């Protein structure tokens, strides 16, 4: 119970403040949209750029951690896609969007603050390694699958152009790529620029959590209840269970094990809705899944933290 109070509840209280502020009219919808745009397009990219630019790549990018996390994510994407097609008889484009909801954990807005509160700032190395690959991997997989089903019969070149165009319009992907460039080249960063980036980055997580709460007000859980339940089970239970299994089998060190399991246990991120909205497919399922899974994750993340206490 102390873990729930000390680690999880403060994060969700900030989300709750954002939710209530918009719900009761203290903060406008347009204002929260602007705040979310600031966090997604500027503050979080600054945070990720700094983290990747300064991280020890040789030490941090544990192939066991990354393979455990992303093998689990890919299986969950396939499970969501196949479940939507076979069980719920959705068309293929809807199936890809639903699979993406099962794939894209909220690794930044929830994964970083909860891991930091549970194990301290030094425990975030594994999280940053996962986050560095998260948007490129998830968007790469999701966009590629969507372009394949949308452009059946067209050339590989047309599909490749569609994937590349969508990928490099994503601010998170661009920031991560620039961070890798600075890290690998050893390009010195002027102190004044580094300090300015730090100021923006410090605002990233609290502002993003508040904005997430405000955005969730707009998501109404309507219809598609069984499909939404499937997404929640895959995202909150199956993914962390798979990472636990793969990490244990490969003797993943404790810090990486905790980062991998906790990050995979997060609810689908707002990017799940952004992806669905980008293609105009399964938007109601995506929106409701983000809202409901975020609420349910208060309990499921607590249970995973209890389980991790013995690792």
221 band by pLDDT with thresholds 50, 70 and 90: low
pLDDT of 1 above 70 = no
Residue 84 forms part of a structural domain: yes
* Residue the block writes with tokens 């969007």: 97
CA distance 57 to 9: 33
Q: What is the mean pLDDT of the chain?
A: 86
Residue 25 forms part of a structural domain: no
- What pLDDT is attached to residue 127? 92
pLDDT of 311 above 50 = no
pLDDT of 11 above 80 = no
Query: Long-range contacts: 35-41, Cβ < 8 Å, 24+?
Result: 35/207, 35/210, 35/211, 35/214, 36/208, 36/211, 36/212, 36/214, 36/215, 36/270, 38/207, 39/203, 39/204, 39/207, 39/208, 39/211, 40/171, 40/172, 40/208, 40/270, 41/171
237 band by pLDDT with thresholds 50, 70 and 90: very high
Half-sphere exposure of 138 (CA within 13 A, CB side): 32
Number of domains in the chain: 1
Is the Cβ–Cβ distance between 268 and 105 less than 8 Å? Answer: yes
155 band by pLDDT with thresholds 50, 70 and 90: low
Give the lowest-confidence range in 3-7, 149-153, 162-166, 189-193: 3-7
117 band by pLDDT with thresholds 50, 70 and 90: confident
Residue 3 forms part of a structural domain: no
**Per the structure block, which two tokens stand in for 125?**
């190395």
- What pLDDT is attached to residue 2? 58
pLDDT of 276 above 80 = yes
304 band by pLDDT with thresholds 50, 70 and 90: very high
- What pLDDT is attached to residue 213? 83
pLDDT of 8 above 80 = no
Residue 46 forms part of a structural domain: no
Tens digit of pLDDT for each residue in 61-100? Answer: 789 999 999 999 999 999 999 999 999 999 999 999 999 9
Residue 213 forms part of a structural domain: no
Percent of the chain past pLDDT 70, that is, above it, reads 90
- What pLDDT is attached to residue 217? 82
- 142: domain range? 62-189+221-308
The residue-averaged pLDDT of 210-221 equals 78
Residue 266 forms part of a structural domain: yes
- What pLDDT is attached to residue 20? 93
pLDDT of 188 above 60 = yes
pLDDT of 209 above 90 = no
Residue 23 forms part of a structural domain: no
Residue 20 forms part of a structural domain: no
The residue-averaged pLDDT of 277-291 equals 84
């Amino acid at each position: 119970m102390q873990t729930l109070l000390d680690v999880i509840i403060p994060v969700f209280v900030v989300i709750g403040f954002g939710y209530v502020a918009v719900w009761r009219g203290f903060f406008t919808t347009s204002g929260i949209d602007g705040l979310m745009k600031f966090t997604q397009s500027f503050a979080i990219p600054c945070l990720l750029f700094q983290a990747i630019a300064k991280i020890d790549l040789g030490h941090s990018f544990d192939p066991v951690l990354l393979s455990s996390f992303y093998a689990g994510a890919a299986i969950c994407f396939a499970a969501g896609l196949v479940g939507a097609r076979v069980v719920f008889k959705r068309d293929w484009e809807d199936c890809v969007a639903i699979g993406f909801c099962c794939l894209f954990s909220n690794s930044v807005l929830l994964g970083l603050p909860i891991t930091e509160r549970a194990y301290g700032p030094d425990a975030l190395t594994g999280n940053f390694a996962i986050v560095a690959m998260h948007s490129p991997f998830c968007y790469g997989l999701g966009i590629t699958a969507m372009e394949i089903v949308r452009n059946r019969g067209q050339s590989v070149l047309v599909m490749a152009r569609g994937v590349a165009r969508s990928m490099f319009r994503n601010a998170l992907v661009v920031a991560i790529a620039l961070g890798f460039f600075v890290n690998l080249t050893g390009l010195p960063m002027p102190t004044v620029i580094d300090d300015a980036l730090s100021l923006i980055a410090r605002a990233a997580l609290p502002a993003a959590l508040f904005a997430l709460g405000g955005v969730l007000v707009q998501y109404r859980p309507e219809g598609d209840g069984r499909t939404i339940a499937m997404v929640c089970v895959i995202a909150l239970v199956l993914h962390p269970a798979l990472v636990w299994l793969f990490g244990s089998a490969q003797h993943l060190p404790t810090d990486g094990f905790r980062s991998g399991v906790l990050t995979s246990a997060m609810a689908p991120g707002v990017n799940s809705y952004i992806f669905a909205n980008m293609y105009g497919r399964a938007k109601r399922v995506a929106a409701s899944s983000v809202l409901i899974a975020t609420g349910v994750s208060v309990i499921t993340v607590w249970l995973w933290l209890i389980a991790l206490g013995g690792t």
